[in-house]
Structure 1
Amino acid sequence: MGTLLAPVLSQRSQAKALEADFARQERATRAQWQREQEKADLQQRRACYVAANAAFRRYRVELMNYLWNVHRAQADEAASRELEAARHAHHAAFAEAQMVASAAVLDHLDEVALAVGEGYRRTKAFEEGHPDPDDSFEKIEEYLLWLWERWKEMRSEMRTDLGIDDAPSRPE
């Protein structure tokens, strides 16, 4: 009886071993795919965050330049085109980042986008000669400088989302 059952039991045992090996390989493949997916997601977020940071910085700098040009009565068509190009680049980078940003980063992105939009509105109103009540060149400039602090907070949240520890503060 043992001689007759031995091949059947051996075949069954071998099938179970193959099944277990297949399951192990499938788990390993799934884990590898998951790691690759997480790496790709991280790279995509990083690229979007870099683009959003660069676009915000350029837009804010162009707003500052434009405000100074308006203040000195030197705002010409070229300066206006530069500001609009920076504004549109910011909108594009912001829209892309909205699709991949974490909820915490998205909160900061939204805050900064609203704030920089307000800076744009105030600068254009100043240029057109109807600034907000009590608004002036100095107050708008102060506001645009304040935006820099909001950007630092957003940048810090982006770094945290990417798993990058903040560097120690520089002595002032």
Structure 2
Amino acid sequence: MIIAVAGVAGTLGGSLLTQRASERAKRREIELLRDHEEARENLLLRRTCYVELNRDARQFTTALNHHLHVMRERSVEETDREALDDAKRAHRDRYSEAQMIAPDEVLVRASEVNQALNKAYGQVKRLEREEPEPGETMATAVQTQAEIWNMLRAMRTVMRHNLGVAPKSDDEQIGLPTQMAEHRSRR
């Protein structure tokens, strides 16, 4: 009788232990799937943010360039001002979004681009009002705007690395410090 009870208890106990182990394995599998899905969603969110930030920063840079051309060729009209301000607003919105999503290594480059764009915008607007600060001319505004392209390349490279699209490049491969230093030495 004791042997039979022990045998039944062992059989039941073994099946309970097997069931618990199976449940734990299923829970771990579900957790892994959730973690994987969360990582995919995070990657998709960052990718979307980076694409939009890159696009809007480039469009703002292009709008600044266009505005400078307009200022040299004719008087600025309200539609020209609106186009520039629309590009500025779009970039501001994307940059604000990136501040909440992007890691620090990307934000450093995005911040450099944002500051450069705002500096160029300020110069352009002061020149448009014919109230430039000392040393501000059309030539310096064009130069400031042109330098932004290198910063955009550096930002894009860091974003691509963060997404796993491109291998990590050091600053020299990104091109910003070397090109900026060469450019400044030519002035």
TM-score, normalising length: structure 2: 0.86
Aligned twin of 2:40: 39
Aligned to 1:3, the other structure's residue is in SS state helix
CA RMSD in angstroms, aligned pairs only: 1.6
Correspondence 1:105 to 2:103: no
Q: Mapping of 1:23-38 within 5 angstroms?
A: 23-38=24-39
Q: Which amino acid aligns with 1:126?
A: L
Q: Please, which runs of 5 or more residues in structure 2 have no aligned partner?
A: 168-172, 174-187
Cα shift at 1:60 = 0.7
Say which SS state the counterpart of residue 63 (structure 1) adopts. helix
Q: How far off its partner does 1:117 sit?
A: 0.3
Aligned residue pair count: 169
Q: How far is 1:142 from its partner? A: 1.1
User: In 2, Cα distance between the equivalents of 1:50 and 1:124?
Assistant: 28
By how many angstroms is 1:4 displaced?
2.1
Deviation at 1:14, TM superposition (A): 0.7
Task: Find the counterpart in structure 1 of residue 136 from structure 2.
Answer: 135
Could you list the per-position Cα deviations for residues 92-130 of structure 1 after superposition, in whole angstroms to 9, with x for gaps in the alignment?
Answer: 111111111011001111111111000000111111112
| Structure 2: distance between partners of 1:164 and 1:119 | 30
Who is 2:53 aligned against? 52
1:72 Cα deviation from its structure 2 partner: 2.3
Runs of at least 4 residues off by over 3 Å: none
The percentage of aligned residue pairs carrying the same residue is 24
Residue 83 of structure 1 aligns with which residue?
84
Greater shift in the superposed pair: 107-116 or 37-46: 107-116
Counterpart of 1:67 in 2: which secondary structure?
helix
Q: 2:96 maps to which residue?
A: 95
Which amino acid is 2:155 matched to?
M
Q: 1:152 aligns to what?
A: 153
How far 1:132 sits from its partner (Å)?
2.3
TM-score relative to the length of structure 1: 0.93
In structure 2, C-alpha distance between the alignment counterparts of 1:95 and 1:134, rounded to whole Å: 31
Structure 1 segments unaligned to the other structure (5+ residues) = none
- Could you say which structure has the greater relative contact order, defined with CA pairs below 8 angstroms and 6 or more residues apart? 1
Q: Which amino acid aligns with 1:81?
A: E
Larger deviation, residues 127-136 vs 23-32: 127-136
Once the 2 structures are TM-superposed, how far is the Cα of residue 71 of structure 1 from its aligned partner? 2.1
1:2 aligns with 2:3: yes
For 1:131, what is the secondary structure of its paired residue? coil
